[in-house]
Structure 1
Amino acid sequence: MKQIKVLGTGCANCRSTVALIEAVAHARGEAIALEKVEDMAAIVGYGVLATPGVVIDGQVVHAGGVPGRDKVESWFGA
């Protein structure tokens, strides 16, 4: 199970990122643990200065803007 964190203050882009990750995971039958992190100190602690950011299994994989569906799908492998 992938541990995924979406880093952001709850803006529309952050909500869109959460929805996209959930949709891709569901479509692929992937089990995920999704957490939203809205605390700015925690976000900066990951080195993310532009939100939304995405952390998978402790690794920052995206920062700034809503990721494209292709990029999100790549996080789940082929």
Structure 2
Amino acid sequence: MTPEQCREARRLLGWTYQRAGVRSDVSSLTVRHFERGVRRTRQTNVAAIRAALEAAGVEFIPENGGGGVRLRERAA
């Protein structure tokens, strides 16, 4: 997951830094620093953030040279 994918995933879910932090059991400052590239973020924290976003319905889309995000389709 890239910082840009994290930011977009939060936007799709309507999550603040605080909510992402609570849901992933990391600090909101960790989420903010990761997205802004302020400092190196531990891979365990990135994995926790990603897992929380995926549990909330985000899908990460691998692409050549980048990637995107989308919300998982809900069953009708």
TM-score by length of 1: 0.31
**RCO greater where, 1 or 2, for CA within 8 Å and sep 6 or more?**
1
Structure 1 or 2: more helix by fraction = 2
TM-score by length of structure 2 reads 0.31
Q: Which has the higher strand share?
A: 1
